[in-house]
Amino acid sequence: MSTVPLWREIQRQNFTKVRDLAHFLQLSESQIQELDETPAFVLNVPQRLAKKMQKGTLDDPLFKQFVPLKKERLEAPGYLLDPVADMQAKRQAKLLHKYEGRALVITTSACAMHCRYCFRKNFPYETKTQTFEKELEILENDTTIQEVLLSGGDPLSLSDLSLEALLTSLSRIRHVKRVRFHTRFIMGIPERITDGFLALLQDYPKQIWFVIHANAACEFDADIWQALKKIQKLGIPVLCQSVLLKGVNDHPDALVELSSVLIDHGITPYYLHQLDPVQGSQHFEVSENEGLKIIAEAQKNLPGYGVPKYVREDAGEPSKTILG
């Protein structure tokens, strides 16, 4: 009997070749010519997401988020390899410290899917070591840090055993009061929320927060809601952050639909991010003026707790910049 967890087996079935996905989506040869079959940031799409993409078109909001286009190779002024200055915030290979009281652990380079607008797609990940001794030493010695964010890549790409070791180490640092997961994994492979993982969360002595990433209501399905509900039942708050993307969610109706379905499931819309100007993502840009109009219009149709904060990350600033 295989000892590989089910979610790992599912992950191995991801689409990683552009032409395979193009044929699955029944794209024409002329449509395929617009795709980049050899992108520097490789294709990685779970089958669950691919099955939700509309066939025969390049205009589907899920397709646009995950499938590389040749226009990604174009350069544009102001679009950078490191748009949020992660490199300036490095205190150790796997530790970023930008904001007072909070630090971020780069747990892994791996993700369940590759978003084409990912601001960290050029990050020089440390992959030679699997442990976090130097990062934990800094966290232990810096008593100003009260919250640790687990990011990456995606922390749920780690095994339960690896996560348990990291969480156990963090639990021993007395001044760290909260641990926050930043993850998109569940949106493609909800099977990752196993009984073992839930037990790990349930037994944890400190407050855990979960922040998922979704940009459109069509990303969700019954299995995803069920997985998130299991986390919520442990008393763990679940928030959702999104990125404003042209052709994906740049309309008030799309934002209202996403926020409505989130709050209907007890999930708080947290942030709507202005696009981080990472090189190759300029075709996703929506102007801040247009974003402000979208938020203002959406706000008319949402309760106050259902309106995400519209924010921009400015390198070197002590917090996110709230727009409007």
Tens digit of each residue's pLDDT (9 = 90 or more) over 278-293: 999 999 999 999 999 9
- The tens digit of pLDDT for each residue in 57-104 reads 999 999 999 999 999 999 999 999 999 999 999 999 999 999 999 999
48: helix, strand or coil: helix
How many domains, in total, are found in the chain?
2
Measured distance CA(99)–CA(111) in Å, rounded: 24
Residue 1 has pLDDT above 60, yes or no: no
Residue at 49 is within a domain = yes
Same domain, 216 and 178: yes
Asked if residues 139 and 178 have their Cβ atoms less than 8 Å apart, the reply is: no
Measured distance CA(91)–CA(65) in Å, rounded: 31
Residue 109 has pLDDT above 70, yes or no: yes
Of 49, 73, 97, at which residue does a domain stop? 73
Residue at 82 is within a domain = no
Same domain, 25 and 127: no
Of 73, 96, 125, at which residue does a domain stop? 73
Same domain, 67 and 199: no
Whole-prediction pTM value? Answer: 0.97
Residue at 229 is within a domain = yes
Residue 51 has pLDDT above 80, yes or no: yes
**CATH number of the domain to which 250 belongs:** 3.20.20.70
Same domain, 244 and 274: yes
- The tens digit of pLDDT for each residue in 193-231 reads 999 999 999 999 999 999 999 999 999 999 999 999 999
Same domain, 172 and 36: no
Instruction: Give pLDDT, residue 137.
Output: 98
Q: Kind of pairing, strands 268-273 and 238-243?
A: parallel
DSSP state of 55: T
Same domain, 218 and 135: yes
Residue at 78 is within a domain = no
Same domain, 192 and 67: no
Instruction: Give pLDDT, residue 3.
Output: 85
Same domain, 63 and 161: no
Q: How far apart are the first and last CA of the chain?
A: 57
Same domain, 156 and 292: yes
Q: Which residues of 138-148 are buried (b: 16+ CB within 10 A; e: fewer)?
A: ebbeeeebebb
Residue at 32 is within a domain = yes
Domain hosting residue 64, numbered range: 6-73
Measured distance CA(213)–CA(211) in Å, rounded: 7
Q: Give the residue carrying structure tokens 């990752």.
A: 192
Residue at 235 is within a domain = yes
Instruction: Give pLDDT, residue 101.
Output: 98
Same domain, 93 and 202: yes
Q: How much of the chain exceeds pLDDT 90, in percent?
A: 98
